[in-house]
Amino acid sequence: MICPNVMNKTFENNSWIKKVIPEIIPPSLSDNTADIDRLIKGIENSLKADGLNLDLCFLKSLPKLLSRYHYQVEAVLFENNASWHLIDVQPHQDGNSVYGLAVDLGSSTVVFRLLDLTNGLIKDEISFHNPQIEIGADILTRIHYASQEGGLDELHDLVINRFNEEIDRLTKKHSLVPGSIMGMVVAGNTTMTHFFLGLDPYRICREPYIPVINRPQIIKARELKLVINPEAPVLVFPNVGSYFGGDLIAGILSSGMFARDEVSFLIDVGTNAEVVIGNRDWLMACAGAAGPALEGGVAGMGMMAGPGVIDQVAIDPHTLEFKVRTIEGLSPVGICGSGLIDLVAQLFLAGMIDLMAKYVKARCGDRLIEIDGIKTLVVVPSEASGTGQSLTLSQPDIDALIRSKAAMYTILTTISNTVNMPLEEIDRFYVAGTFGTYIDPRSAITLGMIPDRPLETYVPLGNTSLEGATMVLLSSKARDDIYQIRDQITYIELNVNQEFMNLFSAARFLPHTDRSLFPSVKEWV
């Protein structure tokens, strides 16, 4: 498997955030150029560029600093729209570092990656829950809350304050001053980035479903009250629309699919199934509700990945013995999305559910019970469970997963039909997010969720938002790429017509009504 990761490459400092050591001749009676103009000239010479911009605050503080350090200083700058802006000036000494923060702004989890911009190395990585969860776990609740008096400000402040707390902790841990963080790049979905910027996502979920902005400009940290260097640029990924955010653009960027000659797919599954197909010449995208089944949010025993959560399941088709693997090997307390897919695939291969994903009583035996008249399978009996109660999977839990997998496959089929590019001709499917990292593609194929292609066709990308944000922080080229990707994407509205519904119905079987599409799936007969 190929894991494209900028970190693996030799670091070349071609970032849009740069440190320079300008040559400045101190003023004298024979050269009475003003201090600031003298500094600007020195920097412009170092950059080989004209028209440096600097904020009023520098005019007040710099003359004293320049004189105190005998004009031996270094300057950190960022470039935007072909013009350079001053971030900071420090006395020149060896080993001054310049840090940047790459941020994956997820609706449930936020990840910070602290990078040394002078050598491209990762200094630290931390993650924490999005504090907006206290308002609502799902995005719609938050959008609704934002439209109430003071709601938007509260949601915005929650994020910014939490960011500042974590930045404070992170910088203290590494004995850095917050001002040494001189750039931030944030990738997230359209609603999350709107909240981050304090923008009302009101019309994101209402006709005509438009965001406030598609391409946020660079904003200085002080404008967002972020406690890093006040002049540090904060770059928020652009979005294609309300349902196609910067997280997906980060995915396309970090996959490298937009630079390949061959056509690839990018799949990102969460509450929405988001799919991109294309190559260096064209990109088409489409998104559809996949339901929350895959996020572990719905099944009775479903939960987010964490200690004791089941992430792998094997069922012996002969003995029908269950083997579960849990995170950190603790007694099982629940199951995450990838575990759930494994479980249902294994149930199918063991003949415990049929083609229509219904429990087969004869094969399930005692494990199958009824709770309030609903057929429910005991996956882990209470005596083996970490909660003291049995972990169970109900028929409706399975039905929800089947709807999700059918939606995924239907979307893939639809988009491949639209561009007239059969699924079996695609030689690479990049799989973004936790789903891609932990899921066993074999199980997803067994369920008929993804096409029956050789396993090496599937390339897990890990946290593409974080990876994409990192790339943008470290490279002008990657920074430019995201705007080009954005402009290149054609977004296809999923037309839920009769044809779509037919495809969807066919995809609700295991693995599919057309068995010839999944030759490798050998279920228990």
Burial call 378-389: b when 16+ CB within 10 Å, e when fewer: bbbeeeebbeee
Residue 313, Cβ density class (10 Å: 0-12 exposed, 13-18 middle, ≥19 buried)? buried
Beta carbon nearer to a second copy, 59 or 371? 59
CB of 172 to a second copy, least distance (A): 28
Interface region with a second copy, contact rule CB under 8 A, candidates 34-42, 115-123, 475-483, 516-524: 34-42
**Binding of a second copy at residue 337 (CB under 8 A)?**
no
**Binding of a second copy at residue 496 (CB under 8 A)?**
no
Pure H helices in 5-101: 35-47, 56-68
In the block, which residue shows the tokens 């197909």?
277
**Binding of a second copy at residue 47 (CB under 8 A)?**
no
Beta carbon nearer to a second copy, 199 or 407? 199
Distance CA 81, CA 229 (A): 21
**Binding of a second copy at residue 222 (CB under 8 A)?**
no
CB of 219 to a second copy, least distance (A): 6
**DSSP code string of 433-495:** HHHHHH--HHHHHHTTSS----GGGEEEEE-HHHHHHHHHHHBHHHHHHHHHHHHHEEEPPP-
Residue 476 falls in which region: left (phi positive, over 0), alpha (psi -120 to 50) or beta? alpha
**Binding of a second copy at residue 34 (CB under 8 A)?**
yes
**Binding of a second copy at residue 223 (CB under 8 A)?**
yes
Please pick, from the candidates 15, 130, 242, 413, the single residue that binds a second copy as defined by CB under 8 A: 242
- Angle at the Cα of 263 from the Cα atoms of 295 and 338, rounded to 5 degrees: 20
Beta carbon nearer to a second copy, 199 or 411? 199
**Binding of a second copy at residue 151 (CB under 8 A)?**
no
Pure H helices in 88-222: 139-146, 151-173, 190-197
In the block, which residue shows the tokens 């600093």?
65
CB of 195 to a second copy, least distance (A): 12
CB of 93 to a second copy, least distance (A): 25
φ and ψ at 416, to 5 degrees? -70, -35
- Which positions from 56 through 115 interact with a second copy, judged by CB under 8 A? 56, 59-60, 62-63, 81, 83
Beta carbon nearer to a second copy, 203 or 358? 203
**Binding of a second copy at residue 48 (CB under 8 A)?**
no
**Binding of a second copy at residue 29 (CB under 8 A)?**
yes
Beta carbon nearer to a second copy, 85 or 92? 85
**Binding of a second copy at residue 32 (CB under 8 A)?**
yes
Beta carbon nearer to a second copy, 282 or 483? 483
Whether residue 283 contacts residue 489, with contact meaning beta carbons closer than 8 Å, is answered with yes
Query: Residue 16 has what DSSP assignment?
Result: S
The tokens for 251 are: 């995915």
**Binding of a second copy at residue 376 (CB under 8 A)?**
no
Interface region with a second copy, contact rule CB under 8 A, candidates 134-142, 237-245, 276-284, 435-443: 237-245
**Binding of a second copy at residue 208 (CB under 8 A)?**
yes
**Binding of a second copy at residue 148 (CB under 8 A)?**
no
Q: How many residues bind a second copy (CB under 8 A)?
A: 42
The tokens for 38 are: 């003298």
**Binding of a second copy at residue 245 (CB under 8 A)?**
no
Please pick, from the candidates 21, 219, 421, 506, the single residue that binds a second copy as defined by CB under 8 A: 219
Query: Residue 107 has what DSSP assignment?
Result: S
Whether residue 301 contacts residue 335, with contact meaning beta carbons closer than 8 Å, is answered with yes
Interface region with a second copy, contact rule CB under 8 A, candidates 202-210, 298-306, 360-368, 449-457: 202-210
Q: How far is CA 209 from CA 242, 297, 385, in A?
A: 6, 26, 45
Beta carbon nearer to a second copy, 63 or 351? 63
Interface region with a second copy, contact rule CB under 8 A, candidates 52-60, 71-79, 259-267, 365-373: 52-60
Distance CA 399, CA 463 (A): 28
**Binding of a second copy at residue 203 (CB under 8 A)?**
yes
CB of 62 to a second copy, least distance (A): 8
Task: Measure the CA dihedral 401/270/423/457, to 10°.
Answer: -100
The tokens for 236 are: 């928020």
Q: How far is CA 437 from CA 69, 409, 460, 511, in A?
A: 51, 19, 5, 22
Whether residue 212 contacts residue 199, with contact meaning beta carbons closer than 8 Å, is answered with yes
Q: Which residues bind a second copy (CB under 8 A)?
A: 27-29, 31-37, 51, 53-54, 56, 59-60, 62-63, 81, 83, 197-200, 203, 207-217, 219, 223-224, 239, 241-242
